[in-house]
Chains A and B, each alone.
Chain A
Amino acid sequence: MKFIDILQTASSSLFRSKARTFLTVIAVFIGAMTITLTNGIGTGIKSYLNKQIGNLGAPNVLIVQLTTKNASPTSGPAKYTYNPNASLSASGFGDRQLLMNLNDLTIIKSIPNVTSVVPAHSIAADYIVGTGDKYQLALAQQFGPSTAYMVAGYGVDNNSSQQQISIPESYVGPLGYSNNQAVIGKIVTIGITSAEGIQSTVTATVTGVQQKNLIGETAAYGNNALVDLLNNIQNTGIPKATANTFQTAYASFPSSLTTAQVNSLKNQLTAKGFTGKTIKDEESTIFTVIDTIIIIFDMFGVIALLAASFGIVNTLLMSVQDRTKEIGLMKALGMSPRKIFALFSIEAVMIGFWGSVLGVGFAALIGSAINAIGRHGFLKDFPGLSLLTFPLTTVFTVIIAIMLIAFLAGTLPALRASRKDPIEALRYE
Chain B
Amino acid sequence: MNQPIMITAKHVTKIYGKGEAALAALDDIDLAIKPGESVAVIGKSGSGKSTLMHVLALLDKPTEGSVLVGDNDASSMSGRQLDLLRNKSYGFVFQQFFLNANDTVLNNVILPLKIAGVGRKERNARGIKALKAVELDDKTYSWAADLSGGQKQRVCIARALINDPSVIFADEPTGNLDSHTGKIVEDLLFRLNKELGITLIIVTHDEDIAARCSRQIHIKDGTLVKRGEI
Chain A residues proximal to chain B, CB less than 8 Å: 1-2, 5, 9, 12, 16, 325-326, 328-337, 339, 422-423, 426
Tell me if B230 is interfacial: C-beta within 8 Å of chain A: no
User: For B94, what are the chain A residues with a Cβ–Cβ distance below 8 Å?
Assistant: 426
Whether the pair A330, B54 counts as a contact (CB closer than 8 A) is no
Q: Please tell me if B135 contacts chain A, counting CB pairs below 8 Å.
A: no
B116 touching A334, Cβ below 8 Å: yes
Instruction: Tell me how far the C-beta of B68 lies from the nearest C-beta in chain A, rounded to whole angstroms.
Output: 19
Q: Mark B79-90, 1 if CB is under 8 A from A, else 0.
A: 110011111100
- Are A336 and B79 in touch, CB under 8 angstroms? yes
Question: What distance in Å separates the Cβ of B121 from its nearest Cβ neighbour in chain A?
Answer: 13
Residue pair B98, A334 in contact (C-beta under 8 Å): no
Could you show 19 A-B contacts with beta carbons less than 8 Å apart?
A: A1-B115, A2-B117, A5-B117, A12-B103, A326-B98, A330-B111, A333-B111, A334-B84, A334-B85, A334-B86, A334-B87, A334-B88, A334-B112, A335-B87, A335-B115, A336-B79, A337-B79, A426-B94, A426-B98
B14 smallest CB distance to A (angstroms): 11
- B59 A422 Cβ-Cβ under 8 A: yes
Q: Does B102 contact A (CB under 8 A)?
A: yes
**Residues in chain B near residue A337, CB distance under 8 A:** 79
Name B83's contact: one of A12, A334, A423, A426 (CB within 8 Å): A334
Chain B contacts with A in 98-145, Cβ cutoff 8 A: 98, 100, 102-103, 111-112, 114-117, 119
B21 CB to closest chain A CB (Å) equals: 18
Residues on the B chain within 8 Å of A423, using CB: 54, 59-60
Smallest beta-carbon distance A404→chain B, Å: 27
Extra inter-chain contacts (6) besides given A9-B114, A331-B83, CB under 8 Å: A2-B114, A5-B117, A12-B103, A326-B100, A329-B98, A423-B60
Taking a contact as CB atoms under 8 Å apart, the answer to whether A5 and B114 are in contact is yes
Contact A336 B98 (CB under 8 A): no
Q: Which of B54-95 contact A (CB under 8 A)?
A: 54, 57, 59-60, 79-80, 83-88, 92, 94
**CB-nearest residue of chain B to A338:** B80
The answer to whether B83 and A336 have CB atoms under 8 Å apart is yes
Q: Using CB atoms and an 8 Å cutoff, list the residues of chain B in contact with chain A.
A: 54, 57, 59-60, 79-80, 83-88, 92, 94, 96, 98, 100, 102-103, 111-112, 114-117, 119
Q: Which residues in A have their C-beta under 8 angstroms from that of B117?
A: 1-2, 5
Tell whether, in the assembled complex, residue A330 and residue B115 are in contact, meaning their CB atoms are under 8 Å apart.
yes
Give bound CA distance, A332 to B94, whole Å: 11
Smallest CB separation, B83 vs chain A (Å): 4
Q: How far is the CB of B162 from chain A (nearest CB, A)?
A: 10
Contacts of A422 in B (CB 8 A): 59
**Nearest opposing residue in chain A for B117, CB measure:** A2
**Is B87 touching A333 in the complex (CB atoms < 8 A)?**
yes
Q: Are B114 and A1 in contact (CB under 8 A)?
A: yes
Choose one: A12, A326, A333, A426; the contact of B115 (CB below 8 Å): A333
The CA-CA distance from A326 to B112 in the complex, in Å, is 13
Tell me which of A5, A12, A332 contacts B86 (CB under 8 A). A332
Contacts of A335 in B (CB 8 A): 83, 87, 115
CB distance from A60 to the nearest CB of B (A): 62
Contact A332 B60 (CB under 8 A): no
Q: Tell me, in angstroms, the Cα distance from A325 to B103 when the chains sit together.
A: 15
Q: Which residues of B contact A339 (CB under 8 A)?
A: 115
**Cβ–Cβ contact B80 & A336, under 8 A:** yes
Which residue of chain A has its CB nearest to the CB of B118?
A2
In the bound complex, residues from chain B placing their C-beta under 8 Å from that of A334 are: 83-88, 112, 115-116
Contacts of B86 in A (CB 8 A): 332-334
How far does the Cβ of A12 sit from chain B's closest Cβ, in whole Å? 8
Complex Cα gap A7–B88 (Å)? 23
The 8 Å CB contact of A16, one of B98, B102, B116, is B102
- Provide the bound-state CA to CA distance between A423 and B171, in Å: 12
Q: Are B92 and A332 in contact (CB under 8 A)?
A: yes
CB-defined contacts of A16 to chain B, threshold 8 Å: 102
Residues of the A chain whose Cβ atoms lie less than 8 Å from the Cβ of B85: 334
Nearest 10 interchain pairs by C-beta: A334-B87, A334-B83, A334-B86, A329-B98, A335-B115, A2-B117, A333-B112, A1-B115, A336-B83, A5-B114
Q: Which residue of A lies closest to B55 (CB)?
A: A423
Kindly provide the distance from the CB of A422 to the nearest chain B CB, expressed in whole angstroms.
5
Give the residue of A2, A326, A332 whose beta carbon is less than 8 angstroms from that of B59. A332
Contacts of B102 in A (CB 8 A): 16
Which residues of A lie under 8 Å from residue B57 when comparing CB positions? 332
CB distance from B205 to the nearest CB of A (A): 17
Residues on the A chain within 8 Å of B100, using CB: 326
Give every chain A residue within 8 A of B112 (Cβ-Cβ). 333-334
A-side contacts of B88, CB under 8 Å: 334
In the bound assembly, the distance between CA atoms of A429 and B92 in angstroms comes to 18
Residues of A within 8 A of B96 (CB): 325
CA distance A155 to B115 in the complex (A): 70
> From residue A229, how far is it (CB to closest CB) to chain B in Å?
83
In the complex formed, the residue of B with least CB distance to A429 is B96
Complex: how many Å from CA A291 to CA B130?
64
Per the bound structure, the CA–CA distance linking A326 and B108 in Å amounts to 11
Partner pick for A325 among B87, B98, B111, CB 8 A cutoff: B98
CB-CB under 8 A from B54, the residues of chain A are: 423
Give complex CA distance A45, B197 in Å.
77
User: Nearest-CB distance from A406 to chain B (Å)?
Assistant: 24
Q: Name the CB-closest residue of A to B102.
A: A16
Cβ 8 A contact of A333, one of B60, B80, B92, B103: B92
Kindly state the separation between the CA atoms of A311 and B86 in the bound complex, as whole angstroms: 36
Q: Tell me the minimal C-beta distance from A429 to chain B in angstroms.
A: 8
A19 to B96, CA, bound (A): 28
